[in-house]
Amino acid sequence: MHKIRLFSLTSLLSLLCLFSFAQQLATIKGVVTTSNGKPVSYISVGLKGQGQGATTDDEGKYNINRVKPGTYTIKASAVGINPSEQTITVSAGETKIVNFVLVENDQALEEITIAGKNNRYKISLPSASLRLNEPLLEAPQNIQIVSDQVIKDQQIISMSDGLIRNVSGAVRLEHWGDMYTNITMRGSQIQAMRNGFNVVSSFWGPLTEDMSFVDHIEFVKGPAGFMLGNGDPSGMYNVVTKKPTGFNKGEVSFTLGSYDLYRTAVDFDRKLTNDGKLLFRLNAAVQSKGSFRPYEQNDRYSIAPVLSYQITDKTKLTAEYTLQNAKMTEVGSYYIFSPNGYATFPQELTMTQPGLPPTRINDHSLFLNLQHNFSNTWKLTAQAAYFKYLQNGYSSWPSAVNADNTVIRNVGIWDAESTMKLAQLFINGQVKTGGINHRILAGFDGGKKNYMADWGQSHDLDLPTSPFDLNNPDYGFPGNGYPNFDRFTPLTQRAINAGGLMDSKYLSGYVQDELGFWENRIRLTLAGRYTYVSQSAWGGSPDKAKHVTPRVGLSVSVDKSTSVYAVYDQSFIPQSGFLRDGGKVEPITGTNYEIGVKKDWFDGKWNTTLSAYRIFKQNELTADPTNTPGQNFSVVLGEKRAQGIEFDLRGKITDGLTLIANYAYTDAKVTEVTPGVTGINVGDVIPGFSKHVANAWLTYTLQNGALKGSGISGGFTYLADRATDTWSVGLQKLPNYFKLDGGLFYEHTKFKVTANAFNILNKYLFSGSYYEWLSAYYYQAEAPRNYRVSVAYKF
């Protein structure tokens, strides 16, 4: 009894102490508005040097609790606006009202929706790494951005995990599992970028990014001389990684899913010094993931620390390192080969052999970025990157496919190493001459890439007398045993023997001037890029090319929320080959003609983009039809043309209702054929696209009531008239594709629970093509109906 009384007295005293302490703390709250009285959502309001802050809600209100008595500097800030500061003094128990009136124009304040929760699907400003110092509405280019909130809502865990549904016309026809993303758009594979660097070192890279360290992804349609000149004219995607924000916050999430998916991700964002000059952010993730096919795995972990230091008020240095480690089943394990057509076997069938060692990959990257602001209108950016990719593993592919549905499975070695050293220096600025406003962009890019691989060793797992039966698969000890490849010889020598050497060196300079007339309502872009490239492939001698690619764009603001644009842009692709007359091999040239209209609706809450384009590619080589055995001469094919229409919609339609929807019509054909070229005719379809692609993702969140913060989401992907990497006469065409996904979620203060179902209709979905030398179809099935549940906690 005495212990109970003592405990009760202690508890009472503790509560009184806590109540007394709470009474000594203060609260700061207020409203952030524009000069015309409109509330501004998602502005960060914080106490400088204290690590305490809040974000304004839909009504522009904020609330900072548990503030110790004292004098502080309180700051309202957001990306793309000038911060506003006030000095205040708070007393014990006081509720201090501090309001802010921001003087920026509506367009600038609109950009803070990058971090906005209810307008989370629309981003209005490109990242600094895209180099364009202007709102997307004013840029003469079709640029679509997939925000971090879209990634979370759709439970996307890698670049290969359904992300492309958020961009018009993007497809993946050659699925390399979760190893390489390889996105096709406007009839060709587009370039992969990270933080403004081209990170493609071979035909198969880079390793697909884990979403734990990704902030958002920018898709640039068509060639873009402001980013690169030597690449396919269809476009690129730029993965923008997470950086420190200057606020102490964090998030941890746990995900469970079908087929033994277990995943944990952490985002830790902190100020290391009270003055906020030294910032740190750490993103990490670890996952274990199985498959609907037996014997497949995709286990990963990633870690991405970032440090930024504000050297002076005008100079900032950021350093980031990323490691991705993957342990997965050999490349090709998800392919099925059939002599009779597509989807002729159960979805869960696999041709892999249990007991084969997994493929292991370590992907390292290091970025250094220095930004110096000479003034409010001129900024210099210098950045360098180093990439190191190490792979030790296998690939599987049959050496024979028989008419009776038996195959001889073959496994080949695939050890690879890639190194990239890249650097950029560019300057953004604005100046006026008379009544003309100039947005200037100029700079240099340089890089050196080396890739080497041993794919010259292979081993048949099955014997001709005991082939693998697709109708009755036997996964016991293979008839021909397991491979015993040579890994004692250094990879450098093995790569030479296998012809697995690729390298490139490039240097380019560019200048762009966007001239703004009549208070910047009409914007004329004039630009040019000079690029020199020296590259070699398959161990051959280097081929060199240099080219000037011009760019002309026009953008006109019909009103403050509507613009129309037209752009003419070029790119080029170096190529290797031998002409019979000994002539010089010219690079492939690509030319893009494009027009479009962009519009922000209802004070910028949602946006639409409609564009039409026509791309021509010339000088592409193909085999000389007059070659005799042992000759490898080439001839110029002729001309290819891709054209189409694209429509994108994204943003907040009304309170609680957000939508992403897109549609693309693509048509790619051969328009000219050099006399004597056989096997290709004018009018032939160019592989690598779907003629019709439509996507949508709709989210509704309850705004009131007991279930406030809960909601429902759903979306679909539809592909029609799919053209794969071959479309020969008489072969089966791929059927139309329809996938339906959806889910439920609940969010309250610091917690959020998200649950999604994928392939709700449980369709047998697949992609594939025909392999002529095997006289067989190959295809990859997607997972049947499956589920994911995530729980996230913010701290």
Distance in angstroms (rounded) separating the CA atoms of residues 32 and 45: 9
Distance in angstroms (rounded) separating the CA atoms of residues 423 and 425: 7
Contact 115, 80 (CB under 8 A): no
- pLDDT one-digit tens code per residue, 137-195: 999 999 999 999 999 999 999 998 989 999 999 998 766 778 888 888 998 888 899 99
Task: Identify whether 319 is part of a domain.
Answer: yes
The CB-based long-range contact list for 766-769 (8 Å cut-off, 24+ gap) reads 766/342, 766/343, 767/172, 767/173, 767/174, 767/175, 767/722, 767/724, 767/734, 767/737, 768/342, 768/724, 768/734, 769/173, 769/687, 769/724, 769/725, 769/726
Contact 430, 377 (CB under 8 A): yes
Q: Is the peptide bond before 206 cis (omega within 30 degrees of 0)?
A: yes
Task: Identify whether 407 is part of a domain.
Answer: no
Contact 44, 55 (CB under 8 A): yes
Residue 226 and residue 302 in one domain: no
What is the CATH number for 214? 2.170.130.10
Dihedral sign from CA coordinates of 270, 272, 275, 279: negative
Residue 77 and residue 172 in one domain: no
Q: Which residues pair with 501 in a beta bridge?
A: 452
**Cα 113 to Cα 399, 598, 704, 711, distances in angstroms:** 54, 18, 22, 20
Residue 481 and residue 578 in one domain: yes
**Cα 492 to Cα 49, 485, 599, 747, distances in angstroms:** 53, 15, 54, 53
Distance in angstroms (rounded) separating the CA atoms of residues 141 and 221: 7
Distance in angstroms (rounded) separating the CA atoms of residues 60 and 67: 20
Helix (H) or strand (E) holding 27: strand 26-34
Residue 657 and residue 603 in one domain: yes
Task: Identify whether 646 is part of a domain.
Answer: yes
Residue 338 and residue 192 in one domain: no
Contact 33, 60 (CB under 8 A): yes
Q: Which residues pair with 414 in a beta bridge?
A: none
Residue 366 and residue 420 in one domain: yes
User: Percentages helix, strand, coil for the chain, rounded to the nearest 5?
Assistant: 10, 55, 35
Quick check: helix, strand or coil at residue 172? coil
Residue 554 and residue 449 in one domain: yes
Contact 449, 435 (CB under 8 A): no
Which residues of the chain fall below pLDDT 50?
1-23, 106-108, 110-119
Rounded to 5 degrees, what angle do the CA atoms 757, 762, 764 make? 130
Distance in angstroms (rounded) separating the CA atoms of residues 25 and 94: 8
What is the CATH number for 39? 2.60.40.1120
Distance in angstroms (rounded) separating the CA atoms of residues 553 and 140: 6
Distance in angstroms (rounded) separating the CA atoms of residues 622 and 636: 6
Q: What pLDDT, on a 0 to 100 scale, did the predictor assign at position 8?
A: 46
Q: Is the pTM of this model over 0.75?
A: yes
Domain count, the chain: 3
Distance in angstroms (rounded) separating the CA atoms of residues 663 and 642: 16
Distance in angstroms (rounded) separating the CA atoms of residues 702 and 708: 5
Taking residue 558's Cβ as centre, other Cβ atoms within 10 Å add up to 12
Quick check: helix, strand or coil at residue 318? strand
Tokens 């000389």, located at residue: 624
Q: What is the 3-state secondary structure (H, E, C) of 548-616?
A: EEEEEEEEEEEECCEEEEEEEEEEEECCCCCECCCCCCCCEEEEEEEEEEEEEECCCCEEEEEEEEEEE
- 684: domain range? 249-401+413-498+507-794
Residues 6+ apart with CB under 8 A from 1: none
Task: Identify whether 669 is part of a domain.
Answer: yes
In this structure, what DSSP letter does residue 21 have?
H
* 224 φ, ψ (degrees, to nearest 5): -145, 95
Contact 648, 144 (CB under 8 A): yes
Distance in angstroms (rounded) separating the CA atoms of residues 338 and 774: 10
Residue 715 and residue 599 in one domain: yes
| Chosen domain end from 241, 261, 282 | 241
Contact 673, 637 (CB under 8 A): yes
| Chosen domain end from 109, 136, 169 | 109
Distance in angstroms (rounded) separating the CA atoms of residues 148 and 127: 13
Dihedral sign from CA coordinates of 641, 206, 170, 548: negative
Contact 146, 166 (CB under 8 A): yes
Helix (H) or strand (E) holding 174: none
Distance in angstroms (rounded) separating the CA atoms of residues 437 and 431: 6
Distance in angstroms (rounded) separating the CA atoms of residues 741 and 756: 7
Residue 599 and residue 513 in one domain: yes
Contact 216, 195 (CB under 8 A): no
Task: Identify whether 619 is part of a domain.
Answer: yes
Residue 208 and residue 304 in one domain: no
Q: What is the 3-state secondary structure (H, E, C) of 452-494?
A: EEECCCEEECCECCECEECCCCCCCCCCCCCCCCCCCCCHHHH
Residue 619 and residue 734 in one domain: yes
Residues 6+ apart with CB under 8 A from 347: 292, 764, 781, 783, 784
In this structure, what DSSP letter does residue 772 have?
G
Quick check: helix, strand or coil at residue 363? strand
Task: Identify whether 99 is part of a domain.
Answer: yes
Amino acid at 756: N
| Chosen domain end from 241, 258, 278 | 241
Distance in angstroms (rounded) separating the CA atoms of residues 373 and 278: 18
Find the farthest-apart pair of alpha carbons in the chain and give their distance in angstroms, rounded.
107
In this structure, what DSSP letter does residue 65 have?
E
Contact 42, 147 (CB under 8 A): no
Nearest to 150 by CA among 698, 758, 759: 698
Structure tokens that stand for 492 in this block = 């450098």
Task: Identify whether 553 is part of a domain.
Answer: yes
Rounded to 5 degrees, what angle do the CA atoms 220, 594, 513 make? 70
* 787 φ, ψ (degrees, to nearest 5): -135, 155
Tokens 């390889």, located at residue: 182
Task: Identify whether 335 is part of a domain.
Answer: yes
Residue 153 and residue 36 in one domain: no
What is the CATH number for 687? 2.40.170.20
**Cα 723 to Cα 151, 180, 359, 673, distances in angstroms:** 28, 20, 30, 20
Compute the chain's Rg from CA coordinates. 28
Q: Which residues pair with 523 in a beta bridge?
A: 516, 555
